[in-house]
């Protein structure tokens, strides 16, 4: 099974989707057409209190308006950071026993130091909190045979 996880981006104060989030959602539409993931997890809580709505809710609305069936979209609406996107989205994805997880995001999530989205998501796939020290992680890893595919435009 293929699962896509789309990372949110802070909404404008009026609740509209920012350009960066629109770019991620348009990439998700392309990914959907090309790879046909069975489920899409839209990940993002209320990072902008003035907007008063979760990123996940706005993302789902956008994808449904552009032809993705609502039953294929799962909202993860607790996260307010990349760390939390991984922490809350991966357990949802793992319930479906995927062989592939597509991470749909833009370049800024991939270039961060010392930890970026790839590291957060790969650690959570293996059921290890990325904030543990390397020594603490050694005994906790539960390595899975899941491909983590980054879907982005550079």
Find the CATH number of the domain harbouring 136.
3.40.50
Tell me the residue range of the domain where 16 lies: 2-99+108-151
Domain count, the chain: 1
Query: Which letter does DSSP use for residue 16 in this model?
Result: P
Q: Which tens digit of pLDDT belongs to each residue from 67-78?
A: 999 999 999 999
**Other beta carbons within 10 Å of 82:** 21
Q: Which tens digit of pLDDT belongs to each residue from 115-139?
A: 678 888 888 888 777 777 777 766 6
Q: Identify which has the larger pLDDT, 147 or 40.
A: 40
Alpha-carbon span 107 to 84, nearest angstrom: 18
Q: Which tens digit of pLDDT belongs to each residue from 98-112?
A: 999 999 998 876 666
pLDDT given for residue 147 in this prediction = 84
DSSP bridge pairs for 126: none
Q: How confident is the model at residue 58 (pLDDT cuts 50, 70, 90)?
A: very high
On the 0-12 / 13-18 / 19+ scale of CB atoms within 10 A, 101 is: buried
Query: Which letter does DSSP use for residue 111 in this model?
Result: S
**Other beta carbons within 10 Å of 79:** 23
pLDDT given for residue 141 in this prediction = 62
Reply yes or no on whether the pLDDT at 88 is more than 90: yes
């Amino acid at each position: 099974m293929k699962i896509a996880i789309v990372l949110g981006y802070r909404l404008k104060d009026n609740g509209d989707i920012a350009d960066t989030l629109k770019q991620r959602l348009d990439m998700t539409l392309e990914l959907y057409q090309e790879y046909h993931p069975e489920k899409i997890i839209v990940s993002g809580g209320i990072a902008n209190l003035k907007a008063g709505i979760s990123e996940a809710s706005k993302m789902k609305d956008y994808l449904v308006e552009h032809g993705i069936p609502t039953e294929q979209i799962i909202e993860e609406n607790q996260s307010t950071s990349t760390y939390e996107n991984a922490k809350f989205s991966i357990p949802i994805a793992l319930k479906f026993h995927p062989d592939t997880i597509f991470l749909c995001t833009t370049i800024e999530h991939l270039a961060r130091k010392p930890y970026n989205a790839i590291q957060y998501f790969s650690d959570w796939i293996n059921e290890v909190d990325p904030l543990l020290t390397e020594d603490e992680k050694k005994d906790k890893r539960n390595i899975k045979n899941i491909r983590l595919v980054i879907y982005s435009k550079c």
